[in-house]
Structure 1
Amino acid sequence: MDNQIGEEFKRIRKERKMTLRELSEKSGLSVSFLSQVERGISTVTFTSLRKIAEALGVSVNFFFEPEEDTPIKKRSLKKSADQPNFTYTSLAGDLDQPKFTPARIELKAGESQTAPYSHQGEEFVYVLEGELKVMLEGHEEILYPHESLHIDSTKEHTWYNETDKPVVLLVVSTNEDGRD
């Protein structure tokens, strides 16, 4: 497995003088899992990566290759990060403190981290392809292509792919303080 994400989150964690136990408490993920991700032994789902990013106080975009430095930010699928469970493509521009973060996410077949969680901000999810299972405050629903969801992220939720085909999403998220 390409361990770029694990190495990067370890670097940030150490910069913040945070132990694995502290990161575990903030993210809700086990110490052993976080340690395995840092060492490249275990893969991370998009949901887990989002929990780690939030606990470290950075955007999910932070873990992926930056675009070239120009004033006009065109986004294409060429700069995506391909992980075993998902592909993430940032569609964000070059703003210092964006109020929202757009991304194209492909959840691979069977990507099914189903433990609900909550965090600051809002999420808008639009299904481009496939079927996305959504849980919001104990209620389950399936979103099909061209259906969307806009929620207050402080409510317990999760979304995942338990089908045998990929699900492609347009996701726009924000945090209460204007940073993602």
Structure 2
Amino acid sequence: MNDKTELTGMESAPKLLDKHLGNTLRHLRLENGLTIAEVAERAALSRGMLSKIENGLTSPSLEKLEHLANALGVTLSKLFHDYDTPKGGAQYVKHGEGMEVVRRGTKCGHTYHLLAYDQGPKKLFEPFLITLEEQGEIFAPFEHPGTEFIYMLEGRLEYTVGDELYVLEPGDSLTFNAEQPHRPENILQMPIRYLAIIYYDSLDSTTDIEL
């Protein structure tokens, strides 16, 4: 039973490829205003054979595919360029709908909205929209794995990385090794909003990151 199921699965991939090639060839032929007879003659194939290929009923050899590609004025790779392309998988977050998460800085007047996430325990990157809501709050320094990129959206903020102090205004960006101590130092103009994107240098990232 299992052997039969596995065989069926193995046979499905060629059938899908045959259908893809047939659809691609038909689309290119019609796009160029050619008939089956015209393309068949150019490719040295019978009309019946070309019809079977376009309908995904037979598996053409590479030699026949090359003749068909030449007859249609395209490269052989053009016939395969969008085969097995991943579909979907994009994460779309509407304005104001990012998932609010709790981090250590939340107690210091931070609001964190996670704008995208990796499924599973390992992370490649994390993009946050951060809002600072309390003027004059003292922030503890943060240290964590990865490289962090900050892009200032609104307000003016003094931000320290290691021993350096930076004044961030709308449009400014800051990139640094996040294993250095870093933190908002002083809020100069409210409201404060900025993007903080963490790229992890390895897949050994933790799930409790401070910014």
**TM-score in terms of structure 2 length:** 0.45
Correspondence for 1:86: 110
**Percent identity among equivalent residues?**
25
CA distance in 1, matches of 2:140, 2:118: 33
Moved more, 80-89 or 96-105: 80-89
Alignment of 1:142 with 2:161, yes or no, is no
Higher-RCO chain (CA-CA 8 Å, sequence separation at least 6): 1
CA distance in 2, matches of 1:95, 1:111: 37
Secondary structure at the residue paired with 2:97? helix
Cα offset, 1:100, TM superposition: 0.4
Q: Tell me which structure has the larger Cα radius of gyration.
A: 2
Is the Cα–Cα contact under 8 Å of residues 75 and 90 in structure 1 kept in the other structure? no
CA distance in 2, matches of 1:78, 1:137: 33
1:101-147 deviation digits (Å, cap 9, x = unpaired): 01111111416334434222111000011112111222212110000
Q: What is the aligned-residue RMSD (CA, Å)?
A: 2.7
Which of 100, 104, 117 aligns to 2:125? It is 100
> Which 5+ residue runs of structure 1 have no aligned equivalent?
1-69
CA distance in 1, matches of 2:185, 2:93: 24
1:4-54 deviation digits (Å, cap 9, x = unpaired): xxxxxxxxxxxxxxxxxxxxxxxxxxxxxxxxxxxxxxxxxxxxxxxxxxx
Alignment of 1:127 with 2:146, yes or no, is no
Is the Cα–Cα contact under 8 Å of residues 99 and 115 in structure 2 kept in the other structure? no
CA distance in 1, matches of 2:147, 2:198: 6
Is the Cα–Cα contact under 8 Å of residues 161 and 167 in structure 1 kept in the other structure? no
**Superposition map of 1:143-158 within 5 A:** 143-158=168-183
1:78-109 deviation digits (Å, cap 9, x = unpaired): 24439671322111144333310011111114
CA distance in 2, matches of 1:137, 1:103: 21
> Which 5+ residue runs of structure 2 have no aligned equivalent?
1-87
